[in-house]
Amino acid sequence: MPKKFLIYNTLSGRIEEFVPLKEGVVKMYTCGPTVYDYAHIGNFRSYIAEDLLKRFLRFLGYKVIHTMNITDVDDKTITGARTQGTSLKEFTAKYEKAFFEDIDKLRISKADYYPRATENIDGMIKIIQGLLDKGYAYEKEGSIYYRISSFPEYGKLSKIKKEDLKKGIRIESDEYEKENARDFSLWKAKKPGEPFWKAPFGEGRPGWHIECSTMSMKYFGPTLDIHAGGVDNIFPHHENEIAQSEAYTGKPFVRYWFHIQHLIVNGEKMSKSKGNFYTLRDLLSMGFSPRAIRYLLLSAHYRKILNFTFDALYQAAASLKRITDFLFELETKEFDEGKTGEAEKMVRETRKKFTDSLADDLNISSAMGAIFNLIHWGNKALEEGKLKKEDTRKIKSMFYEFDRVLAVLPEQIIEELPEEIMELIKKREEARKNMDFATSDAIRDELFKRGIILEDTKEGTRWKMIKK
RNA sequence: GGCGGCGUAGCCAAGUGGUAAGGCAGCGGUCUGCAAAACCGUUAUUCGCCGGUUCGAAUCCGGCCGCCGCCUCCA
């Protein structure tokens, strides 16, 4: 039986104990990308927070089934395809491919299913028809709208009152026929030049919200355990999903709503016009490592605004370096056989604090604090020569265990260097032996420029790759 | 206007009644040919401000100030 896991639920507005519908299994749905452009670091913050949640649930022993939708038909994709003079499919395929490349780089674990909207139109039509039959929806000029007045609980997620919604809202030019300005479209009537599908209630294309309801029900049935996304989705997107799904099935749609706060840049909302808009590709081309970016996006609590700055990114890389440097010591030094009780105790306590922290609504800062406390203790023990071989094995395996959740450690702690560089390092060691420090320092400077840092220790010279 | 969040050292950040974790950066020292890494010491008598409750408050209550988000299919 997994340990007690506390998580904030937007629906109740408080922290609750997580109990899935079926013991040991978690049905998780996360709002995926609209593939009309490259995803930006704000998107990735959400995906990484969701990834942390998923990895931690698995760490606790749950089987997690994860579905993430791909929105490949909406206003933006249609406009984009038209602007570039390509087909919708061709246009979205490009950004879908980029999305998968990016999440791979950031080590965001793959979902089990990635349904595309355009491949689930039949399911959407079925639900829309059902809503029409039950009187929750109505037709106007070929479009189908959801009547929010028919769903008494409308607003329960976002805590918005229906009456307040009538004030000060804009009515879109193509939706002026709605009964109520807040009713939202389930199906948009066919327009010239736009892709369309056939439905009993007329040709057209689906609205956005119906997509998530349909696809989550397809994989999970009427009720799922976790539905996640950015806070901006709370209203109207997730509110509308609840209205559609619960009206259709008559059953609770989602048990735990998990929402990730926004990322801002230098204290301001990210926007293209301000020039503070970064995609993963932008940062990688500046030389930052995906691991440092992941570490930064991971290291702030998911319900707090994360202020992205380059200073913070450098700090993340430096923090990560402290971890890998410590592991480097454990991997490269020689240790005597045996073990010490103190190390065993430290590992046990660290593992407990790490797990307890994350089990407390994913308190990542506290969990990382446990890791750094262990590192400090470990470095000191190294300094004093107190660590034994079995101790280092235990510590290392603890780190690799934690990394199943964090996924920030490098593939290999010790990296291979090309032969010519190894030659240079040997040449430098010769020079040092001969007290020819001019030569040795010149070689060290040269290698530094090439991204390799040399460290002279009692056991000889060793090297590391510089990571940004 | 409605709803919600935030304000802890130079920066990031944990801590929700018991006397301020951790990371980065800085400074002094040890080690080093010099560095790097690491270690030791140091950096908030104080948690936006003002009151109150309490033996005791960053934590609870009241007021004020500042910042931000949503209420526009933007994660």
Give which of A19, A52, A33 is closest to A298, Cα–Cα. Answer: A52
Cβ proximity of A212 and A29 under 8 Å: yes
Question: ipTM, 2 decimals?
Answer: 0.93
Q: How far apart are CA A465 and CA A412, in angstroms?
A: 11
Strand B contact at CB of residue A77, distance < 7 A = no
Q: How far apart are CA A70 and CA A87, in angstroms?
A: 17
The protein footprint on chain B, as nucleotides within 7 A of a CB, is 1-6, 11-15, 21-25, 32-40, 67-75
User: Residue at minimal CA–C1' distance from B22?
Assistant: A369
What string of pLDDT tens digits covers the 468 residues of chain A? 457 999 999 998 888 999 999 999 999 999 999 999 999 999 999 999 999 999 999 999 999 999 999 999 999 999 999 999 999 999 999 999 999 999 999 999 999 999 999 999 999 999 999 999 999 999 998 999 999 989 999 989 988 876 655 444 444 444 456 777 788 999 999 999 899 999 999 999 999 999 999 999 999 999 999 999 999 899 899 999 999 999 999 999 999 999 999 998 888 888 777 778 899 999 999 989 999 999 999 999 999 999 999 999 999 999 999 999 999 999 988 899 999 999 999 999 999 999 999 999 999 999 999 999 999 999 999 999 999 999 999 999 999 999 999 999 998 877 788 898 999 999 999 999 899 999 999 999 999 888 888 889 888 888 888 777
Strand B contact at CB of residue A164, distance < 7 A = yes
Å from the A322 CA to the B46 C1':
29
Angle between helices A310-332 and A364-383 (to 10 degrees): 40
Element (H, E) at A228: strand A224-230
Go through the domains of chain A in sequence order and give each one's CATH number.
6-260 (3.40.50.620), 280-406 (1.10.730.10), 419-465 (no CATH)
User: Residue at minimal CA–C1' distance from B15?
Assistant: A366
Strand B contact at CB of residue A269, distance < 7 A = yes
Q: How far apart are CA A60 and CA A63, in angstroms?
A: 9
Cβ proximity of A306 and A264 under 8 Å: yes
Strand B contact at CB of residue A276, distance < 7 A = no
Q: How far apart are CA A296 and CA A308, in angstroms?
A: 8
Strand B contact at CB of residue A159, distance < 7 A = yes
